[in-house]
Structure 1
Amino acid sequence: MQTLDVARPDRFSPGDIIAGISVAVVVIPQALAYAELAGMPAYTGLYAAALPPLAASLFASSRYLQTGPVAMTSLLTFGALSTIATPFSVEYVGLALVLALLVGVIRLILGLIGGGGITHFMSNPVVLGFTTGATLLIIASQSAVAFGLEAAPDGLIERLWHVLTNPSEWSWAAIGLSAATIALVRFAPRVHPLFPGVLVAVLIGMAAGTVDGAFVLVGDIPSGFPPFSLDLPWDQVPGLFVSGAIIAVVGFAEPTAIARTFAAQDRVRWDANRELVSQGVANLASGLTGGFPVGGSFSRSSINKLAGATSRWSGAITGIAVLAFTPFAGVVAGLPRAVLGAIVIGAVIKLVRLRALWRLIHVSWGQA
């Protein structure tokens, strides 16, 4: 068994400060959006984006990996909890905290016993199929808010069908705002890799949100963190264990791919076991501070690298920046929820790799 020691210090530079703040600008609105995707109140996304990257930076081997709320893990969280509790309810939030702690413990144990090789057992066809299917489910889950509906069925397929068959409930203002947001999120990198498309979309959304009655808004956001408490539904641990294990393993595929890709580009080594430990500690931090299961983000890690990060401490800077913003989070109360839904759709739509699926069908129908 490996010892749980803090990773060897990397070379900190001013670039880490710039990169960390650049990522914070992106993760704040993303965190609000991914919280709703997970079935959590939007403000809990800030809790999942503050201390987790700070905690992860203590043990990570990758100098670029950014930890926090991500679409895939949020969807898996929703799938695990929505069948046993009502999303956004107090009971649901408590279960999400327990689930985050479970994911953290499982990843931590796997890292300590040298289980980093688990990702090698996930073949490319399996990952491709899972990612594509999950992406389509994510888009379906956000369809109601993107079209401006105030209420929709809980089931994802039922929700999408309700949206498509009830055009009288559509809000054309919300649809227009959603389309503009998706365009900004998807095409901003073509303007410049560091162009803050998500931030621009949020600012436009906040301006649009001042029009009375035009949009369904995020609503009140409490300032600061909730009081620390271990009064959680611990009796639900056995029932959540399988879901926690699935999220711990499947959700680790993304940070593994990120760390491996960037390490290959820089021709440096990375340690899968240390990444498991760092992701485990991050989830423990999220569960103890009011968040939900977290993972590694490819888009934010790419921004981190492009913005000039030279060490893993850029993740700590991101966490500190989100912490500094938390007391002022009320400024986004007037943000239309359509913007949050569109941010999620714009971020994940690129994961639908139809060409890769088509090639796989031609190569091997069985694997496809």
Structure 2
Amino acid sequence: MYDAIAGVSVAMVGIPQSLAYAELAGLPPIAGLYAGALPPLLAAIFASSPYLQTGPVAITALLTYSALSTIATPGSPEYVGLGLALALVVGVVRVGLGLLRAGWLAYLMSQPMLLGFVPAAAVLIASSQLPKVLGVSPPGYGNEIVEAGWGLAHPAQWSLAALAMGAMTVLVVLGARRLHPLVPGVLLAAVVGIAVSALGFYPAPVVDDIPSGFLPFTLDEIPWDRLPELLLPGAIIALIGFTEAASISRRFASEERTRWNANREFISQGVANVAASAVGGMPCGGSFSRSSVNRMSGARTRWSGAFTGLTVLAFLPFATVLRPLPLAVLGAIVIVAVVSLMRFRPLLRLWRLSTPQAVIAWTTFLATVLLAPRLDIAVLIGVGLSVAVFLWRSLQLEIDVETEGTTLRFVPRGVLWFGTAQRLDTVLLDALAAHPDADALVIDLGRLGRIDTTGALMLRSVLDQARGAGLRADVNGIPPQSRKLTERVLGPEIGPLD
């Protein structure tokens, strides 16, 4: 009973949201409803989290638009077919990762990269919806922010009806939140918008094209020959889109001190996307807002998601009632939903914490904004920078040289591996030249993170050189994770190790 109530409550919020996110993705609104019907029903079978709600979400919708808008005209039959193909690719990638127990890949995207990408994507999403709220049709500049700026710069073309409807939506949704998180503000705004439009008091654009009936079978509409060109964007969506589902599930599991399985969640999200491709849907993922509603509505098990899907399925024969829904309402729903993602304070704070990580975050942010709609390139830039910073840091071996009478003490910090091992040899030669009276060398490895084979061999070489120069040479503080390797390389004849 609790799961049924929670599932129906989520569906009441999810139905108008699904329409809005399909519009954001450049797909027919009905694709959002289809993606909110069978996918959450099947995802519930495999899900690990009892609260995660699957369906269309903002970030995945934007990534879908960025992947497809450069190769097809949004809304065209070709575009719709590619949307189905993309959902299939996303689904297969996620199922494959789950079956291979590669849930750790959910953490592949570095936090600084996501700190830059998510708010930039939120800005793009809000910008793409602003013309709908203003009731304007900007020229196709190819960048959402530029088009939003054009709309703001032409107030003479604003539609007062669209502005009023958008303002009403924002007030109703935010007001409902203040009353109680379970008050369905999105649904109430949609009902008001439909009523005003159906009575003939709304002259601006509406959804209009919403067919009624049951789910279609659309696997035969997938352009199978074009799947290869969707592999990269599909993989990016599979990983980035999963971070939202993972963060939701981890947070709820932590608060309730329960277990969560990333591999199972990968499979559940993958099955949902494969189902979406088969029934005319769109790429989907885990929704933070709907999952929160699900939890607060009293959901007890993962089957609440199944009840959400069943509710949407039951609504499909009556979906034509949504035809008068103003597009301004959908635009405002999306804007309100993504405002919470525009978190710039962590971006600013990152400069004080780590300059290299701040460079990753801000470069990703700027690349996402400037390269739109090619968000795949922006993501690859962010990932590439993250890898480059990791390699750069791995190449930094700092060695503190201390003297205690005639004893030299080396304290290396970092990782002693083939990329940094030569640094130890250089420091030894410099220290011997600077301290000709030294008669002993102690190398303290306690601050090293790891030693590889090349590092251990270089360590032995340095000890041999020091002893050849007449110094007593000892090592202590070998990292536990590298002890066996280091002891094998140094050998018992080298001297005491601790």
TM-score by length of 2: 0.69
**CA displacement at 1:232 relative to structure 2:** 2.0
* Aligned residue number for residue 169 of structure 1: 157
| One-letter amino acid matched to 1:45 | G
- How many Å separate the matches in 2 of 1:234 and 1:281? 19
**CA displacement at 1:295 relative to structure 2:** 0.1
| Secondary structure in 1 matching 2:121 | helix
- How many Å separate the matches in 2 of 1:244 and 1:344? 23
- How many Å separate the matches in 1 of 2:324 and 2:315? 16
Residues paired across the two proteins, number:
355
| One-letter amino acid matched to 1:123 | S
* 1:33-60 superposed Cα distances (whole Å, 9 cap, x missing partner): 0000000011111000000000100000
Do 2:41 and 2:307's aligned partners in 1 also have CA atoms closer than 8 Å? Answer: yes
What does 1:227-242 correspond to in 2, within 5 Å?
Answer: 227-242=217-232
| One-letter amino acid matched to 1:214 | P
* Aligned residue number for residue 341 of structure 1: 331
Q: Find out whether 1:215 has 2:223 as its counterpart.
A: no
* 1:55-99 superposed Cα distances (whole Å, 9 cap, x missing partner): 100000100000000000000000000001010111100000000
Q: 2:255 aligns with which of 255, 259, 265?
A: 265
| Secondary structure in 2 matching 1:296 | strand
- How many Å separate the matches in 2 of 1:321 and 1:168? 43
Q: After alignment, is 283-292 or 203-212 more displaced?
A: 203-212
* Aligned residue number for residue 86 of structure 1: 73
Gaps of 5+ in 1: 1-13
* Aligned residue number for residue 148 of structure 1: 135
Do 1:185 and 1:347's aligned partners in 2 also have CA atoms closer than 8 Å? Answer: no
**CA displacement at 1:151 relative to structure 2:** 5.6
* 1:277-308 superposed Cα distances (whole Å, 9 cap, x missing partner): 00000000000000110000000000000000
**CA displacement at 1:154 relative to structure 2:** 5.8
- How many Å separate the matches in 1 of 2:244 and 2:29? 23
Q: 2:315 aligns with which of 296, 304, 325?
A: 325
Q: 1:62 aligns with which of 49, 52, 69?
A: 49
**CA displacement at 1:319 relative to structure 2:** 0.1
| Secondary structure in 2 matching 1:204 | helix
Change (3 A) 1:203 1:154: farther
What does 1:185-224 correspond to in 2, within 5 Å?
Answer: 185-209=173-197, 210-212=199-201, 214-224=203-213
- How many Å separate the matches in 2 of 1:232 and 1:121? 30
**CA displacement at 1:190 relative to structure 2:** 1.9
* 1:224-256 superposed Cα distances (whole Å, 9 cap, x missing partner): 233444242111111111000000011100000
**CA displacement at 1:126 relative to structure 2:** 1.6
- Identity fraction in percent: 55
* Aligned residue number for residue 106 of structure 2: 119
Gaps of 5+ in 2: 359-498
The structure with more radius of gyration:
2
- How many Å separate the matches in 1 of 2:267 and 2:350? 34
- How many Å separate the matches in 2 of 1:187 and 1:363? 37
- How many Å separate the matches in 1 of 2:4 and 2:202? 40
| One-letter amino acid matched to 1:128 | L
Q: After alignment, is 137-146 or 321-330 more displaced?
A: 137-146
* Aligned residue number for residue 9 of structure 1: none
- How many Å separate the matches in 2 of 1:251 and 1:229? 23
Do 2:212 and 2:320's aligned partners in 1 also have CA atoms closer than 8 Å? Answer: yes
* Aligned residue number for residue 95 of structure 2: 108
Do 2:196 and 2:202's aligned partners in 1 also have CA atoms closer than 8 Å? Answer: no
* Aligned residue number for residue 17 of structure 2: 30
Change (3 A) 1:45 1:130: same
| One-letter amino acid matched to 1:316 | A
Change (3 A) 1:366 1:239: same
What does 1:302-321 correspond to in 2, within 5 Å?
Answer: 302-321=292-311
* Aligned residue number for residue 268 of structure 2: 278
Do 1:153 and 1:162's aligned partners in 2 also have CA atoms closer than 8 Å? Answer: no
Q: Which protein has the bigger strand share?
A: 2
Change (3 A) 1:171 1:365: farther
Q: After alignment, is 174-183 or 338-347 more displaced?
A: 174-183
Do 1:116 and 1:272's aligned partners in 2 also have CA atoms closer than 8 Å? Answer: yes
Q: 1:43 aligns with which of 30, 45, 57?
A: 30
**CA displacement at 1:123 relative to structure 2:** 2.7
| One-letter amino acid matched to 1:211 | G
- How many Å separate the matches in 2 of 1:202 and 1:227? 28
